[in-house]
Amino acid sequence: MEKKKLKDSLKEIENIINWFDEQEEIDVEAGLKKVKDGVALIKSSKEKLGNLENEFKKVKTDLGKEIDLDK
C-alpha cells in the first residue's frame, strides 16, 4: 500500500463507514473487502500517529535543550 497522508486515510475510513450505513442489504463479499480495507487503513493510521507522537516528543525535547542552553 502506498504511503498516504493521515487525513486521506481517515477520510477513506469515513467513506467505508458511510458505505455500510447506506446499505440496506450488504453484499457479504463487498462488505468483507471493505472491512479488510478499513483494518489496513486503521493499522497504517495508528502507525502514522505513533510516528507523529514520537516526532512531537523529539521536538519538545530539542526545544527544552535549547531553552536550557539559553540560561
Summarised one tens digit per residue, pLDDT across range 2-45 is 577 999 999 999 999 999 999 999 899 999 999 999 999 999 99
Among candidate residues 4, 6, 33, 5, the one with its CA nearest the CA of residue 20: 33
pLDDT above 60 for 71: no
Cα dihedral 51/40/1/12 (nearest 10): -90
